[in-house]
Structure 1
C-alpha cells in the first residue's frame, strides 16, 4: 500500500500533467463512476478554477486573444507553472513572460506587455497605502514602469472599450506607461521621454534635489512623485 506522501505525489503529477499512476487509481473509491472518471472530474475542476482566476486577473488579454485561445494559454501555463503555494492572489506572475515566449501567441506579440500591465495593476491593488512627508517630494514607491515596443496606452484603452480598435496602429511605435497607486486608487499614465528619463534616474538612486521643480511638475501631477 502506498504511503500518504506517495499518494500526494501521484495526485500532484496526475493534476499537473495528466499522467495517472495505477496505484493512485486503486486507492480511489469507485461505484457507478470509475476511479479514472472521478480523478478526471477533480482535474477538470482544478484546471477550471485556475483558469477562472487567471482570466479574472487578465481580462484585457482575454479580450484581445478570445476565450478559446485564452483557455489554451491557461492550460499550457498551468501545466508548466502550477501553483507553488495556496494563494491564488499571487498566481499568474509568470504569465507575461510565458506569453512572450509562447509560440502560438507570436502573432499578437503585444499581449505580453498587456499582461504585464494587468499584473502590475493587480499587485498594486493589494498594496497598503504609502505614507510620505508632504513637505518632502519623493518618488512614489508604488509604481510600475513598462517600456513597451508598442503603443501600450492606446492598446489598453482599446481593450477596455475607451478607444476604437481601428484607432490603434502598431506602427505608432514604442510607448512607456507607468502604473501608479495613490490615494487608494490605481492609475495608468503615459510617460514622455523626459519623464521616463527622470523616473529611471530616480529609480537608480538619483536625487530629486538635482531636478528643477518645473521638470518634476508633470510627474507630481501624475502622482509618480508624491
Structure 2
C-alpha cells in the first residue's frame, strides 16, 4: 500500500509538471514521457471543459475558445484539489483580474464571481424556507431581538455599476451578448435556490443592505435600520414580504444565540 501511495503521489506531481517524479517507475523514460503527455492533455482538457461549463457568462462574453485557452493556463497553476469538478474554479475570478489578456475586460472578474455564486447556490444544502406566518408572531420587542437566518443557498452581491443586471441577462440568454451593455447605475442581486431551481432576484440598495445585515447575524430591527440608511424612504413592509415570498429565510432565532 505504501508503494501504491508513493506512486500516486509521484503521478500527481508528474501531471503537475514534475517529470522526474516518475523516473523510478519508468523502464523507458522516453516512452514514459510520451505516455504522460497524453494524461496531461486529458487533465488539461477536463479542467478547461469544467471551467467553461462553470463560468457560462464569461464564456458568452469572451467566446468559449478564449475561455478554454485561459482555463488551461489557470489549471496549470491551480490544479483541482479534489476529484469532482462541479465547483472547480474557486480562485478563477481573482486570477482573471491578473490575467494580461483580460486587462481590457475588467468586468470579467465580477461576472466570474457571480457565476461562482450561482454554482454555490446550486450545490448548497436543501432547506425549507419560512413562510409569512413565522414572522407574523413577532411583536416590536421580538423584532428587535430576533435574527433571521438566510437560506443555505442564498448568495448576495452588489456592484457600483450595472454588472449584476448584465450578468442576469447573460444567464437568461434572452439577448445576444453583443447587444448587452454595462451601464453605470449600481446593481445588486440575490441568488437563491429555495426549491429545485435557481432564482435570481434584483435588489435595491436597501434590499441588499437588509440581507447583508441578516447574513452577518444582525437582528431584524438593526437590519431594517441599515436598509433605510442605504435607501432612505424604502418601504420596508413590501421588501420584507418580497423576501419572505422568495424563500430567503430558514430560521428565526434570538440574537443572543
Q: Deviations over 1:20-73 (max 9, x none)?
A: 11x72563466xx82221111111111111221222212221121122321222
- What is the number of equivalent residue pairs in this alignment? 221
Report the secondary structure of 1:178's partner residue.
Answer: strand
Deviation at 1:167, TM superposition (A): 4.9
Write out aligned runs for 1:80-99 (5 A).
Answer: 80-99=77-96
Write out aligned runs for 1:140-159 (5 A).
Answer: 140-141=150-151, 142-151=153-162, 152-158=164-170
Deviation at 1:160, TM superposition (A): 4.1
Report the secondary structure of 1:89's partner residue.
Answer: coil
Partner residue in 2 for 1:197:
209
Given the two structures, how large is their TM-score scaled by the length of structure 2?
A: 0.73
Report the secondary structure of 2:217's partner residue.
Answer: coil
Q: For 2:240, which of 216, 221, 226 is the aligned residue?
A: 216
Write out aligned runs for 1:1-226 (5 A).
Answer: 7-16=7-16, 18-21=17-20, 24-25=22-23, 27-28=25-26, 34-134=31-131, 135-137=133-135, 138-141=148-151, 142-151=153-162, 152-158=164-170, 160-165=172-177, 167-208=179-220, 211=224, 213-225=237-249
**CA distance 1:38–1:164, change in 2 (3 Å):** closer
Unaligned runs of 5+ in 1: none
> Which shifted more, 102-111 or 200-209?
200-209
> Which shifted more, 165-174 or 145-154?
165-174
**CA distance 1:208–1:103, change in 2 (3 Å):** same
Question: Aligned partners of 1:47 and 1:35: how far apart in 2?
Answer: 18
Question: Aligned partners of 1:129 and 1:218: how far apart in 2?
Answer: 20
Deviation at 1:191, TM superposition (A): 0.5
Are the equivalent residues in 1 in contact too, given 2:189–2:203 (CA < 8 A)?
A: yes
Unaligned runs of 5+ in 2: 136-147, 225-235, 251-257
Question: Aligned partners of 1:148 and 1:101: how far apart in 2?
Answer: 19
Question: Aligned partners of 2:53 and 2:26: how far apart in 1?
Answer: 33
Are the equivalent residues in 1 in contact too, given 2:189–2:201 (CA < 8 A)?
A: yes
Are the equivalent residues in 1 in contact too, given 2:154–2:193 (CA < 8 A)?
A: yes
Deviation at 1:145, TM superposition (A): 0.7
Are the equivalent residues in 2 in contact too, given 1:62–1:70 (CA < 8 A)?
A: yes
Q: Which has the higher contact order (CA 8 A, sep 6+)?
A: 2
Question: Aligned partners of 1:80 and 1:203: how far apart in 2?
Answer: 33
**CA distance 1:171–1:127, change in 2 (3 Å):** closer
Given the two structures, how large is their TM-score scaled by the length of structure 1?
A: 0.82
Deviation at 1:122, TM superposition (A): 1.5
Deviation at 1:10, TM superposition (A): 3.9
> Which shifted more, 149-158 or 208-217?
208-217
